[in-house]
Chain A
């Protein structure tokens, strides 16, 4: 039990984006790197040496910090990501910049922190004004380095992050990648950030490190009080400050319950995912960072059903080179072999930063119907071919499959195949090892792809259904828009039909059909999906054991009947009620969460 105590402040409830699942209860640590205040002070000539010493000391401490961050990133996330820190180390060691600072101290008789702040801020401003996104990103590096050095100058040995003496819930306006990595995982119970979305650095890393997190909680920061208790529910995107006794007990019970269920489920991880009558379903994981491999192994997953290659881009903030990609893909493939890994080609755009913004500065009015995913790849041959080369080169090291997001027409598959032929010819000429015949698939997430699934199936080896986009494109609903989000219905009869059509078209042409969207991790949908004939379910490693337990409790004939009944219903509410009833009749309550 942690030191949760009842507060006198009235309970406050906030909602945000559920970035990383789980419940955390603990004392609040308000994380505010901005609270460093630098003031100008005139020094005496006799103080010059002391000020220069203070500067050098802070630089040395910062260098030590950055080196240990770099090591930690390499260990927890992957070697490729450590390079981020290299850019900061370079800015830190820039002698000509430091000479400017020393000069200001000597000639202008300014205190060290003011001189340093002044010089670095000038560089930062210049970089921020650049038209080039890469240069603008470097402004962030300069800021990071500056804050760290000032922290050391002003607080001596102790940095803000070392304040994490007891396990806490961090509440911040904004969390940077380096902040997050620097923290001792055992001291961070949960994360709340006023900014950010599901694909922000914080969200991606929190999921990889399995820290409950809620992001995009606007207005939470200013009034938060340090040390008082907070509850965060990362599964549902809720944050409760200063909970009353009743709320506290409810969540403590909930937390305990989740732990028990997880323990009992993880105990079965070696058992196969098959129904009572022996029908095998492939159960695999959705991940996007090498650091998540550990979670994949622990969950009892059969390989990776969705590897989000764009995370390498999102975390690094720059397009990775062929070698960087090759190393990462090879490492992932080798770690999972002989189980398969399905790499999804860069899925940028939509909610994952506006790709057109990043690439050519165009602001789209409707990014979800715009320049994203395969469209960006086909439009940027260099970018796409670099990725294809890296994936094919890695294919020699494991069981790799490749799938393409946002396929809306057969022509796109033809064009993708032309690129693949080109890349294979290049690799052959260079005498590089690769497998020619890796399985190719399409992510089925646009209704047009379902309607031509029979045509697509002739050209491909598998389909993987992406439900989130399929639902939003079919029902024309933005789930993030409060005024229409009630129309977003996972079990809408049209969605069930589209899933059935995809499965039937795939099976008629002897290709396998899986699902990697959110629905695959929803216990309620599993009997229906099994009944419709799904071959593979790819889910977050956190929910995988629960999904396996459900599959192991099903009987395929019974699921088939259930699916037939569901196809007769005309209203989503009836489908949902029917599936809930089925779950209640067949499974203990803890699997219905």
Chain B
């Protein structure tokens, strides 16, 4: 099952070190494959370097795409986490 959703990055300095690390550790809790898409770049949400390369600044919109058993939950929880600024500020 493939699920998608969209999140807006609200952290002051974007999806950088700490928020990125928090996002990656959340993504790793799911069985599903999770990808993040911004503009033309698609990266693995379970990879810290991938997420950093995405360079999502404050205010940018990022699409979440998940495939696998718990894909729906993964998308939902990641969006919620983004709304809470990834628990870092």
Binding site for B on A (CB under 8 A): 86-87, 90-91, 94-97, 123, 126-127, 130-132, 134-135, 138, 142, 318-319, 321, 382
B16 on interface, CB distance cutoff 8 Å: yes
Residue contact B57 to A138, C-beta cutoff 8 Å: no
Residue contact B52 to A127, C-beta cutoff 8 Å: yes
Look across to chain B and name the residue whose beta carbon is closest to the beta carbon of A87. Answer: B17
**Top 7 closest pairs, chain A to chain B, by CB:** A96-B47, A134-B16, A96-B44, A130-B55, A123-B49, A126-B53, A90-B48
Look across to chain B and name the residue whose beta carbon is closest to the beta carbon of A119. Answer: B49
B39 on interface, CB distance cutoff 8 Å: no
Q: A87-B17, A318-B16 are in contact. Are A138 and B52 (CB under 8 A)?
A: yes
Residue contact B48 to A94, C-beta cutoff 8 Å: yes
Residue contact A91 to B55, C-beta cutoff 8 Å: no
**Cα-based distance from A237 to B28 in the complex (angstroms):** 51
B24 on interface, CB distance cutoff 8 Å: yes
A-B contact list, 20 entries, CB within 8 Å: A86-B21, A87-B21, A95-B46, A96-B47, A97-B47, A97-B49, A123-B49, A123-B53, A127-B49, A132-B13, A132-B14, A132-B16, A135-B16, A135-B53, A135-B55, A138-B52, A142-B49, A318-B13, A321-B89, A382-B12
- List the B side residues contacting A96 at CB < 8 Å: 44, 46-47, 50
**Cα-based distance from A97 to B43 in the complex (angstroms):** 11
- List the A side residues contacting B17 at CB < 8 Å: 87, 134, 138, 318
Tally of A-B Cβ pairs under 8 angstroms: 57
The 8 A CB mask of B12-27 against A (1 = contact, 0 = none) is 1110110001001000
Tell me what chain A mostly uses at the interface: helix, strand, loop, or mixed.
Answer: helix
CB contact list, B40-81 vs A, under 8 A: 44, 46-50, 52-53, 55, 57
- List the A side residues contacting B44 at CB < 8 Å: 96
Q: How far is the CB of A326 from chain B (nearest CB, A)?
A: 14
Q: How far is the CB of B58 from chain A (nearest CB, A)?
A: 10
**Cα-based distance from A55 to B26 in the complex (angstroms):** 27
Further pairs besides A127-B53, A132-B14: 15, Cβ < 8 Å? A86-B21, A90-B48, A94-B47, A96-B47, A97-B47, A97-B50, A127-B49, A132-B16, A134-B14, A135-B53, A138-B16, A138-B17, A142-B49, A318-B13, A319-B13
Binding site for A on B (CB under 8 A): 12-14, 16-17, 21, 24, 44, 46-50, 52-53, 55, 57, 88-89
Residue among B48, B49, B55, B57 with max Cβ neighbours from chain A (10 Å): B49
**Cα-based distance from A94 to B14 in the complex (angstroms):** 20
**Cα-based distance from A258 to B50 in the complex (angstroms):** 53
**Cα-based distance from A132 to B44 in the complex (angstroms):** 20
**Cα-based distance from A86 to B88 in the complex (angstroms):** 15
Look across to chain B and name the residue whose beta carbon is closest to the beta carbon of A322. Answer: B89
Look across to chain B and name the residue whose beta carbon is closest to the beta carbon of A145. Answer: B49
**Cα-based distance from A321 to B16 in the complex (angstroms):** 14
Q: A96-B44, A138-B17 are in contact. Are A132 and B49 (CB under 8 A)?
A: no
Look across to chain B and name the residue whose beta carbon is closest to the beta carbon of A96. Answer: B47
Q: How far is the CB of A261 from chain B (nearest CB, A)?
A: 45
**Cα-based distance from A533 to B49 in the complex (angstroms):** 58
- List the A side residues contacting B88 at CB < 8 Å: 321
Residue contact B47 to A132, C-beta cutoff 8 Å: no
- List the A side residues contacting B50 at CB < 8 Å: 94, 96-97
Residue contact B55 to A132, C-beta cutoff 8 Å: yes
- List the A side residues contacting B57 at CB < 8 Å: 131-132
Residue contact A90 to B21, C-beta cutoff 8 Å: yes
**Cα-based distance from A123 to B44 in the complex (angstroms):** 13
Look across to chain A and name the residue whose beta carbon is closest to the beta carbon of B44. Answer: A96
Residue contact A91 to B16, C-beta cutoff 8 Å: no
**Cα-based distance from A58 to B57 in the complex (angstroms):** 34
Q: How far is the CB of B13 from chain A (nearest CB, A)?
A: 6
- List the A side residues contacting B46 at CB < 8 Å: 95-96
**Cα-based distance from A126 to B50 in the complex (angstroms):** 10
**Cα-based distance from A86 to B28 in the complex (angstroms):** 17
Residue contact A91 to B13, C-beta cutoff 8 Å: no
Look across to chain B and name the residue whose beta carbon is closest to the beta carbon of A92. Answer: B48
- List the B side residues contacting A86 at CB < 8 Å: 21
**Cα-based distance from A127 to B48 in the complex (angstroms):** 12
- List the A side residues contacting B12 at CB < 8 Å: 382
**Cα-based distance from A123 to B43 in the complex (angstroms):** 12
- List the A side residues contacting B13 at CB < 8 Å: 132, 134, 318-319
Look across to chain A and name the residue whose beta carbon is closest to the beta carbon of B16. Answer: A134
Look across to chain A and name the residue whose beta carbon is closest to the beta carbon of B24. Answer: A90
